[in-house]
Structure 1
Amino acid sequence: MSSLSSVATLSAPAPQASQRELPPELAQIRAQAIADGLPYAGGITPKQAWALVQTGKVLLVDVRTAEERKFVGHVPDSLHVAWATGTSLSRNPRFVRELESKLGGKDVPALLLCRSGKRSAAAAEAATKAGLSCIFNVLEGFEGELDAAQQRGKADGWRFHGLPWVQD
Structure 2
Amino acid sequence: MRHFAIAALLALGSVSLSLPAVSQGVDASALPDYKRSRLQLYLTPQEAYEIVTKEPARTLFLDVRTRAEAMYVGMPTPADALVPYVEHQEMMTDWDERRHMYQLEPNSDFIQEAEIRLKEKKLTRADRTILICRSGDRSARAADLLANAGFTRVYSITEGFEGDSAKDGPKAGQRIVNGWKNAGLPWTYKLVKAKMYFPR
User: TM-score w.r.t. structure 1 length?
Assistant: 0.76
Matches within 5 A, 1:7-156: 23-26=19-22, 38-55=37-54, 56=56, 57-78=58-79, 79-86=81-88, 87-104=102-119, 105-148=124-167, 149-152=172-175, 154-156=176-178
Question: Alpha carbons of 1:47 and 1:83: their partners in 2 closer, same or farther (altered >3 Å)?
Answer: same
- Give unpaired runs (5+ residues) of structure 1: 1-21
- 8 A contact 1:62–1:114 mirrored in 2: yes
In our comparison, the structure showing a higher alpha carbon Rg is 2
SS at match of 1:136: strand
Moved over 3 A (4+): none
How far apart are 1:160 and its partner, in Å? 0.8
How far apart are 1:25 and its partner, in Å? 1.4
Structure 1: distance between partners of 2:42 and 2:53:
18
Structure 1: distance between partners of 2:85 and 2:59:
19
SS at match of 1:25: coil
Q: Which has the higher strand share?
A: 2
Q: Percent identity?
A: 34
SS at match of 1:155: coil
Structure 1: distance between partners of 2:106 and 2:43:
24
User: CA deviation digits over 1:75-127, x for unaligned, max 9?
Assistant: 11411110001142211122111111111232221100000011000000110
Structure 1: distance between partners of 2:37 and 2:67:
28
How far apart are 1:138 and its partner, in Å? 0.7
Which amino acid is the alignment partner of residue 19 of structure 2?
A: P
- Give unpaired runs (5+ residues) of structure 2: 1-17, 29-35, 89-101, 191-200
User: CA deviation digits over 1:44-89, x for unaligned, max 9?
Assistant: 0000000000011322100000100010010114111100011422
- 8 A contact 2:37–2:143 mirrored in 1: no
Which amino acid is the alignment partner of residue 52 of structure 1?
A: I
SS at match of 1:157: coil
Which amino acid is the alignment partner of residue 99 of structure 1?
A: A
Structure 2: distance between partners of 1:51 and 1:77:
11
User: CA deviation digits over 1:17-49, x for unaligned, max 9?
Assistant: xxxxx83314x78xx98xxx9512511000000
- 8 A contact 1:41–1:133 mirrored in 2: no
Structure 2: distance between partners of 1:136 and 1:24:
11
SS at match of 2:76: coil
